[in-house]
Structure 1
Amino acid sequence: MLIITGYIHVDPTHLAQFLKELKALASTTRRRSGSIAYDAAVEDSRSGRLLIAERWVDQAALSAHLQAADTLAFVSRWRGKMRSDVRKYDAWNERDIMDR
Protein backbone atom coordinates (compact mmCIF):
# COMPACT_ATOMS: atom_id res chain seq x y z
CA MET A 1 0.00 0.00 0.00
CA LEU A 2 1.09 3.56 -0.66
CA ILE A 3 0.28 6.45 1.66
CA ILE A 4 0.28 9.98 0.27
CA THR A 5 0.20 12.74 2.87
CA GLY A 6 1.29 16.28 3.49
CA TYR A 7 0.11 19.83 2.99
CA ILE A 8 -1.16 21.92 0.12
CA HIS A 9 -1.15 25.69 0.46
CA VAL A 10 -3.59 27.82 -1.54
CA ASP A 11 -4.06 31.58 -1.40
CA PRO A 12 -6.96 32.02 1.06
CA THR A 13 -8.82 34.19 -1.47
CA HIS A 14 -8.96 31.14 -3.81
CA LEU A 15 -9.67 28.53 -1.14
CA ALA A 16 -13.43 28.23 -1.74
CA GLN A 17 -12.97 27.63 -5.48
CA PHE A 18 -10.09 25.22 -4.84
CA LEU A 19 -12.22 23.20 -2.41
CA LYS A 20 -15.14 23.10 -4.86
CA GLU A 21 -12.90 21.71 -7.60
CA LEU A 22 -11.07 19.35 -5.24
CA LYS A 23 -14.39 17.96 -4.01
CA ALA A 24 -15.39 17.11 -7.58
CA LEU A 25 -12.02 15.47 -8.25
CA ALA A 26 -12.19 13.54 -4.97
CA SER A 27 -15.62 12.15 -5.82
CA THR A 28 -14.29 10.64 -9.04
CA THR A 29 -10.97 9.58 -7.54
CA ARG A 30 -12.57 7.58 -4.73
CA ARG A 31 -14.23 5.38 -7.35
CA ARG A 32 -11.00 4.65 -9.21
CA SER A 33 -9.58 1.17 -9.16
CA GLY A 34 -6.95 0.89 -6.44
CA SER A 35 -8.09 3.93 -4.47
CA ILE A 36 -8.46 3.07 -0.78
CA ALA A 37 -8.92 6.62 0.54
CA TYR A 38 -8.69 10.15 -0.83
CA ASP A 39 -9.28 12.96 1.63
CA ALA A 40 -8.42 16.58 2.34
CA ALA A 41 -9.16 18.76 5.34
CA VAL A 42 -8.73 22.48 5.77
CA GLU A 43 -6.28 22.86 8.62
CA ASP A 44 -6.14 26.65 8.57
CA SER A 45 -8.48 28.65 6.34
CA ARG A 46 -6.74 31.96 7.12
CA SER A 47 -3.48 30.69 5.61
CA GLY A 48 -5.05 28.34 3.03
CA ARG A 49 -3.40 25.23 4.44
CA LEU A 50 -4.96 21.82 3.73
CA LEU A 51 -3.95 18.40 5.01
CA ILE A 52 -3.97 15.74 2.31
CA ALA A 53 -4.31 11.99 3.01
CA GLU A 54 -4.53 9.32 0.34
CA ARG A 55 -4.08 5.55 0.28
CA TRP A 56 -3.54 3.48 -2.87
CA VAL A 57 -3.17 -0.27 -3.32
CA ASP A 58 -0.03 0.12 -5.44
CA GLN A 59 2.01 2.39 -7.71
CA ALA A 60 0.06 1.34 -10.81
CA ALA A 61 -3.19 2.61 -9.28
CA LEU A 62 -1.57 5.87 -8.15
CA SER A 63 0.05 6.38 -11.55
CA ALA A 64 -3.28 5.82 -13.33
CA HIS A 65 -4.84 8.50 -11.10
CA LEU A 66 -2.01 10.95 -11.68
CA GLN A 67 -2.26 10.43 -15.45
CA ALA A 68 -6.07 10.66 -15.61
CA ALA A 69 -7.41 13.55 -17.67
CA ASP A 70 -9.34 15.11 -14.76
CA THR A 71 -6.32 14.97 -12.45
CA LEU A 72 -4.07 16.53 -15.08
CA ALA A 73 -6.66 19.25 -15.77
CA PHE A 74 -7.00 20.04 -12.04
CA VAL A 75 -3.23 20.30 -11.59
CA SER A 76 -2.95 22.44 -14.71
CA ARG A 77 -5.67 24.85 -13.52
CA TRP A 78 -4.01 25.27 -10.12
CA ARG A 79 -0.36 25.25 -11.20
CA GLY A 80 1.21 28.43 -9.86
CA LYS A 81 -1.74 29.02 -7.50
CA MET A 82 -0.85 26.31 -5.00
CA ARG A 83 2.26 24.86 -3.46
CA SER A 84 2.60 21.38 -2.16
CA ASP A 85 4.58 19.54 0.45
CA VAL A 86 3.01 16.13 -0.18
CA ARG A 87 5.07 12.94 0.03
CA LYS A 88 4.61 9.26 -0.81
CA TYR A 89 5.33 6.48 1.70
CA ASP A 90 5.41 2.71 1.27
CA ALA A 91 3.43 0.81 3.90
CA TRP A 92 4.53 -2.80 4.13
CA ASN A 93 3.48 -3.68 7.67
CA GLU A 94 -0.15 -2.60 8.01
CA ARG A 95 -1.83 -3.53 11.32
CA ASP A 96 -4.37 -2.27 13.83
CA ILE A 97 -3.34 0.90 15.64
CA MET A 98 -3.30 -0.90 19.02
CA ASP A 99 -1.07 -3.74 17.76
CA ARG A 100 2.60 -3.60 18.68
Structure 2
Amino acid sequence: MLIVTGYLYVAPAELARFMTHLKALANVTRQRDGNISYDAAVDDADTGRLLLSERWADQAALAAHLNADETVQFVNQWIGRMRADIRKYDALNERDLMED
Protein backbone atom coordinates (compact mmCIF):
# COMPACT_ATOMS: atom_id res chain seq x y z
CA MET A 1 0.00 0.00 0.00
CA LEU A 2 1.09 3.55 -0.68
CA ILE A 3 0.21 6.49 1.53
CA VAL A 4 0.22 9.95 -0.01
CA THR A 5 -0.02 12.84 2.42
CA GLY A 6 0.93 16.44 2.86
CA TYR A 7 -0.33 19.96 2.39
CA LEU A 8 -1.92 21.91 -0.43
CA TYR A 9 -1.93 25.70 -0.38
CA VAL A 10 -4.24 28.10 -2.21
CA ALA A 11 -5.07 31.74 -1.70
CA PRO A 12 -7.65 32.04 1.08
CA ALA A 13 -9.93 33.99 -1.26
CA GLU A 14 -9.99 30.99 -3.64
CA LEU A 15 -10.40 28.31 -0.98
CA ALA A 16 -14.14 27.76 -1.41
CA ARG A 17 -13.86 27.43 -5.19
CA PHE A 18 -10.82 25.16 -4.85
CA MET A 19 -12.70 22.90 -2.41
CA THR A 20 -15.64 22.62 -4.81
CA HIS A 21 -13.31 21.44 -7.57
CA LEU A 22 -11.36 19.16 -5.24
CA LYS A 23 -14.56 17.53 -3.94
CA ALA A 24 -15.61 16.76 -7.52
CA LEU A 25 -12.19 15.19 -8.18
CA ALA A 26 -12.40 13.24 -4.92
CA ASN A 27 -15.77 11.75 -5.88
CA VAL A 28 -14.32 10.43 -9.14
CA THR A 29 -11.05 9.34 -7.54
CA ARG A 30 -12.73 7.26 -4.85
CA GLN A 31 -14.25 5.10 -7.61
CA ARG A 32 -10.90 4.30 -9.22
CA ASP A 33 -9.45 0.81 -9.06
CA GLY A 34 -6.83 0.59 -6.35
CA ASN A 35 -8.02 3.62 -4.39
CA ILE A 36 -8.43 2.87 -0.71
CA SER A 37 -9.10 6.41 0.47
CA TYR A 38 -8.85 9.97 -0.83
CA ASP A 39 -9.52 12.81 1.59
CA ALA A 40 -8.72 16.48 2.04
CA ALA A 41 -9.62 18.88 4.80
CA VAL A 42 -9.08 22.55 5.40
CA ASP A 43 -6.35 22.77 8.03
CA ASP A 44 -6.10 26.58 8.21
CA ALA A 45 -8.60 28.66 6.24
CA ASP A 46 -6.76 31.90 7.06
CA THR A 47 -3.68 30.71 5.17
CA GLY A 48 -5.45 28.48 2.62
CA ARG A 49 -3.73 25.31 3.86
CA LEU A 50 -5.36 21.92 3.32
CA LEU A 51 -4.30 18.51 4.58
CA LEU A 52 -4.35 15.76 1.95
CA SER A 53 -4.46 12.04 2.74
CA GLU A 54 -4.63 9.27 0.15
CA ARG A 55 -4.13 5.50 0.27
CA TRP A 56 -3.52 3.42 -2.86
CA ALA A 57 -3.19 -0.32 -3.36
CA ASP A 58 -0.01 0.06 -5.41
CA GLN A 59 2.04 2.34 -7.67
CA ALA A 60 0.10 1.32 -10.78
CA ALA A 61 -3.16 2.53 -9.22
CA LEU A 62 -1.59 5.81 -8.12
CA ALA A 63 -0.01 6.35 -11.54
CA ALA A 64 -3.35 5.71 -13.25
CA HIS A 65 -4.93 8.35 -11.00
CA LEU A 66 -2.19 10.90 -11.63
CA ASN A 67 -2.51 10.40 -15.39
CA ALA A 68 -6.33 10.29 -15.50
CA ASP A 69 -8.03 13.03 -17.49
CA GLU A 70 -9.87 14.44 -14.45
CA THR A 71 -6.67 14.69 -12.41
CA VAL A 72 -4.74 16.32 -15.24
CA GLN A 73 -7.58 18.79 -15.85
CA PHE A 74 -7.73 19.66 -12.14
CA VAL A 75 -3.97 20.27 -11.95
CA ASN A 76 -3.99 22.31 -15.15
CA GLN A 77 -6.90 24.40 -13.86
CA TRP A 78 -5.08 25.23 -10.62
CA ILE A 79 -1.45 25.29 -11.75
CA GLY A 80 0.15 28.53 -10.67
CA ARG A 81 -2.61 29.10 -8.10
CA MET A 82 -1.89 26.17 -5.80
CA ARG A 83 1.25 24.85 -4.27
CA ALA A 84 1.84 21.45 -2.75
CA ASP A 85 4.12 19.80 -0.23
CA ILE A 86 3.05 16.18 -0.69
CA ARG A 87 5.03 12.98 -0.09
CA LYS A 88 4.50 9.31 -0.90
CA TYR A 89 5.26 6.54 1.59
CA ASP A 90 5.37 2.76 1.30
CA ALA A 91 3.32 1.04 4.01
CA LEU A 92 5.02 -2.31 4.45
CA ASN A 93 3.84 -3.26 7.92
CA GLU A 94 0.18 -2.30 8.18
CA ARG A 95 -1.63 -3.26 11.41
CA ASP A 96 -4.28 -1.98 13.79
CA LEU A 97 -3.41 1.13 15.78
CA MET A 98 -3.31 -0.63 19.14
CA GLU A 99 -1.09 -3.51 17.98
CA ASP A 100 2.61 -3.50 18.83
Give the residue type in structure 2 aligned to 1:89: Y
Residue 33 of structure 1 aligns to a residue whose secondary structure is coil
Secondary structure at 1:41 match in 2 = strand
Q: Normalising by the residue count of structure 2, what TM-score does the alignment of the two structures yield?
A: 0.99
Deviations 1:23-52 (A, max 9, x none): 000000000000000000000101000000
For 1:20, the equivalent position in structure 2 comes to 20
Q: How does 1:21-100 map to 2 (within 5 A)?
A: 21-100=21-100
Q: Which residue of 2 aligns with 1:2?
A: 2
Paired with 1:88 and 1:48, the residues of 2 have a C-alpha distance of 22
Once the two structures are superposed, what CA deviation does each residue of 1:55-79 show, in whole Å capped at 9, x if it has no partner?
A: 0000000000000000000000100
Partner AA of 2:93 in structure 1: N
Q: Please, what is the CA RMSD of the aligned residues?
A: 0.3
Q: How much identity, in percent, do the aligned residues show?
A: 61
Deviation, structure 1 residue 9: 0.5
SS at the partner of 1:22?
helix
Stretches of 4+ aligned residues off by more than 6 angstroms: none
| Distance (whole Å) between structure 1 residues aligned to residue 36 and residue 57 of structure 2 | 7
| Distance (whole Å) between structure 2 residues aligned to residue 19 and residue 56 of structure 1 | 22
Segments of structure 2 that go 5 or more residues without pairing to the other structure are none
